[in-house]
Structure 1
């Protein structure tokens, strides 16, 4: 990755501001989000011309220990039981979309793991570590950030674990 800090040509979002403030390199990628599209991750992979395994979605869950975040490839499904265990909880269920939007400050389909309004315990699937860079939402639909996986984990103050079902 010819890493660089976000430039003025890319949107300024809470995610980009957080990365710049932390001194973490990223590459912004803007693409045209099609109205009516609801498979946001697959759309991002297709529009950016990258394999789905490198594009990661941000999912909020409710656990008996509180809210948490799982970051998993769009090629995979989130394993709720595995994420609950990583978060120190007994069980997890998907958070209500309205709760996800309120807690993160982002809209569904544009929820970034970085720069969330409320910092939540975050687990990035370890499959991300197999890539030099991965793509995550930049904080709005049609905008992704390319970032080194270790930098992503550092930016969210998270951990890695196996939280996917292939």
Structure 2
């Protein structure tokens, strides 16, 4: 597995300190984020999943703990919008340039507005997808937020 991806290159260019962790990706897992947390032996609240949504017809990126679900109402409110819905997988892949299971907020084809669950900022270090199935980057959640100019808000149900 390559440990250099568009996501890791983006973090390096941004001057963000990070480490990589690899695991055996299970394409049949019911919940990919929880499978990643278990595989790397980390608490699900510290393994953040990257989701793509559509807010008032425009793409947004959402970063939340792998054991939580996004509240579409809270997501829309965080961006001052009216209606949010999950993006279809094919559209998420086209928008980000990553495959589902390997979507990272870092180094997407086109940076879109991003939000991170505010509770994640309380963790010293978190894991976020590194742009490839089975690859996580371990970094400060504040650094992650700042690197993609994300807003921090309460996003989970």
The answer to whether TM tops 0.5 is yes
- Structure 1 runs of 4+ aligned residues shifted over 4 Å read none
Question: Matched residues in 1 for 2:125 and 2:152: separation?
Answer: 15
Question: Root-mean-square deviation (CA), in Å?
Answer: 1.3
Aligned residue in 1 for 2:40: 48
Task: Kindly indicate whether the alpha-carbon contact (under 8 Å) linking 1:62 and 1:95 is maintained by their aligned counterparts in 2.
Answer: yes
Task: Kindly indicate whether the alpha-carbon contact (under 8 Å) linking 1:80 and 1:92 is maintained by their aligned counterparts in 2.
Answer: yes
SS at match of 2:107: coil
Q: C-alpha displacement at 1:35, in angstroms?
A: 4.1
Aligned residue in 2 for 1:32: 24
User: What does residue range 3-152 of structure 1 map to in structure 2 within 5 Å?
Assistant: 11-64=3-56, 66-152=58-144
Task: Kindly indicate whether the alpha-carbon contact (under 8 Å) linking 2:26 and 2:32 is maintained by their aligned counterparts in 1.
Answer: no
Q: Structure 2 stretches of 5 or more lacking a match? A: none
Question: Matched residues in 2 for 1:51 and 1:72: separation?
Answer: 13
Question: Matched residues in 2 for 1:103 and 1:52: separation?
Answer: 26
Question: Matched residues in 2 for 1:106 and 1:126: separation?
Answer: 25
Corresponding residue pairs, total: 157
Q: C-alpha displacement at 1:37, in angstroms?
A: 2.7
SS at match of 2:130: strand
Q: Structure 1 stretches of 5 or more lacking a match? A: 1-8
Question: Matched residues in 1 for 2:68 and 2:27: separation?
Answer: 24
Question: Matched residues in 1 for 2:20 and 2:127: separation?
Answer: 9
TM-score for both structures, normalised by structure 1:
0.90
Deviations 1:119-161 (A, max 9, x none): 1000000011110001110011110011101100011111100
TM-score for both structures, normalised by structure 2:
0.95
